[in-house]
């Protein structure tokens, strides 16, 4: 036994040495490759930069020069020319500033499939832009999919993850600021109160695409002492500022709730194979089967058209804005029937003369503004 052990031990040592030797050789070989590769890159860089003109870097040329559909599919931060400088210029054909873009929705199968543009409404000149305006806050399913419940069962989904989420922070913040309980808490604030407000404001800023006004407001609220008069002043400023940002840019969209899975509905149920076949046939130029496929894709679609006042009504509307987290002040705006009756009037082909209902009740005062 002892003799056998003596025979085995050297053998194990030898194996170990061989493994170590092999590893050492492999490591040295890898180093050779690495050294040669890095050296090649370095010398190639020198020669290429001397012999061939270097193109203008993307920080300079990588700004959106045209307002194209592709631009709607990208985020602001994906343009190197945009992120390399403060307040970069707008695309050339556009004069007004475009410091934030329409947030791309990468979870809406209607637009992601390649069938529909992110701004899908294009037919009726009178209302197409108004309808597209809704596409930044509402998934197609809200208006275009069949739903039995009235009001609709809805849920917010995050544009970053596609998952269900609570109401956008800008709505939550304003709801809290203007609620009775919120007013009480903010009248006698604590560090926790301040922290909650800061987090809501930061979330609102982030979800709206880093709008400077909200970002600065959040940082300002974070910087002052919760018991100072400046804090109260900022709370008032927030009550004035937040409603200006109810513009449908929430980093989230409202869609139907799938009651079985409790998940947001992001595609027409069961339509995926038909969509693929439709696109395949479109690409090949074979159009014979397209009507059937089209019908299959849109099988779950709401048969009748919706009207503005189906949702924008004081009571009994298809959408329960309050349940979706809209604060009371916003609810009032969303249910003002005059505005939406007017749009339907326009949709019916009747031009609408300004000024009228949209003119503010109080004329703007032209004088130096008070400062805190």
Structure tokens, 107: 């979870």
Q: Is 185 in contact with 196 (CB distance < 8 Å)?
A: no
Least Å distance, CB 329 to another protein, is 16
Structure tokens, 237: 């400023």
How far is the CA of 57 from the CAs of 46, 50, 54, 144, in angstroms?
17, 16, 8, 44
Nearer to another protein, 64 or 327 (CB): 64
Please compute, for residue 164, the number of CA atoms within 13 A of its CA located in the half-sphere on the CB side: 13
Query: Positive or negative, the Cα torsion across 82, 84, 86, 88?
Result: negative
Q: Does 261 bind another protein (CB under 8 A)?
A: no
Query: Positive or negative, the Cα torsion across 314, 315, 316, 322?
Result: positive
How far is the CA of 249 from the CAs of 98, 184, 211, 307, 334, in angstroms?
14, 29, 10, 23, 16
Q: Is 279 in contact with 115 (CB distance < 8 Å)?
A: yes
Selected binder of another protein within 19, 31, 314, 328 (CB under 8 A): 31
DSSP β-bridge partners for residue 257: 264
Selected binder of another protein within 3, 6, 125, 305 (CB under 8 A): 125
The residue to which tokens 């994906």 are assigned: 78
Nearer to another protein, 296 or 326 (CB): 326
Least Å distance, CB 4 to another protein, is 31
> Binding marks (x or -) toward another protein, 132..171, rule CB under 8 A?
xxxxxx----------------------------------
Nearer to another protein, 237 or 263 (CB): 237
Least Å distance, CB 284 to another protein, is 21
Subset of 285-314 contacting another protein (CB under 8 A): none
Number of residues near another protein (by CB under 8 A):
110
Helix (H, G, I), strand (E, B) or coil at 158: strand
Q: Does 101 bind another protein (CB under 8 A)?
A: yes
Selected binder of another protein within 74, 75, 81, 344 (CB under 8 A): 81
Residue 29 Rama label (left phi>0; alpha psi -120 to 50; beta)? alpha
Subset of 220-259 contacting another protein (CB under 8 A): 220, 223, 234, 237, 240-241, 244, 247-249
Nearer to another protein, 9 or 40 (CB): 40
Report the C-alpha gap between 370 and 337 in whole angstroms: 35
Least Å distance, CB 113 to another protein, is 16
Least Å distance, CB 45 to another protein, is 8
Nearer to another protein, 8 or 34 (CB): 34
Selected binder of another protein within 72, 164, 172, 331 (CB under 8 A): 72
Q: Which region among 146-154, 162-170, 295-303, 363-371 touches another protein (by CB under 8 A)? A: 363-371
Q: Does 19 bind another protein (CB under 8 A)?
A: no
Q: Shortest CA distance to 306 belongs to which of 318, 322, 320?
A: 318
Selected binder of another protein within 8, 15, 19, 35 (CB under 8 A): 35
> Binding marks (x or -) toward another protein, 51..70, rule CB under 8 A?
xxxxxxx-xxx-x-xxxxx-
Q: For strands 164-165 and 263-264, give the pairing.
A: unpaired
Give yes or no for a cis peptide into 151 (omega within 30° of 0).
yes
**Cβ neighbours of 296 (radius 10 Å):** 18
Subset of 177-216 contacting another protein (CB under 8 A): 211-213, 215-216
């Amino acid at each position: 036994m002892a003799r056998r052990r003596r025979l085995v031990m050297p053998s194990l040592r030898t194996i170990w040495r061989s493994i170590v030797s092999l590893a050492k050789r492999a490591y040295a070989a890898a180093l050779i490759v690495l050294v040669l590769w890095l050296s090649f890159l370095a010398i190639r860089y020198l020669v290429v930069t001397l012999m061939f003109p270097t193109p203008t870097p993307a920080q300079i040329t990588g700004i959106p020069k045209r307002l194209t559909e592709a631009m709607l599919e990208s985020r602001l931060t994906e343009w190197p020319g945009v992120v390399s400088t403060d307040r970069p210029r707008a695309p050339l054909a556009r004069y007004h500033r475009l410091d934030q873009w329409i947030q791309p929705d990468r979870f809406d199968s209607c637009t992601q499939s390649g069938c529909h543009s992110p701004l899908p409404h294009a037919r009726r000149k009178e209302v197409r832009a108004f309808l597209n305006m809704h596409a930044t806050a509402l998934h197609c399913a809200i208006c275009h999919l069949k739903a039995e419940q009235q009001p609709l069962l809805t849920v917010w989904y995050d544009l970053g993850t596609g998952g269900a989420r609570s109401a956008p922070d800008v709505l939550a913040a304003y709801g809290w600021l203007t609620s009775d309980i919120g007013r009480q808490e903010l009248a006698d604030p604590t560090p926790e109160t301040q922290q909650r407000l800061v987090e809501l404001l930061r979330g609102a800023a982030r979800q709206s695409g880093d709008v400077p006004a909200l970002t600065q407001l959040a940082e300002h609220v974070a910087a002052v002492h919760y018991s100072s008069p400046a804090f109260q002043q900022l709370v008032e400023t927030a009550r004035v500022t937040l409603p200006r940002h109810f513009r449908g840019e929430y980093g989230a969209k409202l869609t139907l709730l799938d009651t079985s899975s409790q998940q947001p509905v992001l595609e027409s149920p069961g339509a995926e194979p038909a969509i693929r076949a439709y696109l395949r046939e479109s690409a090949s130029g074979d159009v014979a089967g397209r009507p059937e496929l089209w019908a299959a894709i849109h099988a779950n679609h709401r048969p009748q058209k919706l009207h503005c006042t189906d949702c924008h009504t004081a009571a009994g509307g298809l959408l329960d804005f309050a349940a979706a987290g809209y604060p009371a002040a916003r609810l009032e705006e969303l249910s003002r029937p005059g505005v939406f009756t007017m749009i339907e009037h326009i949709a019916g082909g009747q031009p609408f003369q300004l000024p009228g209902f949209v003119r503010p009740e109080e004329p703007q005062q032209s004088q130096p503004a008070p400062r805190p």
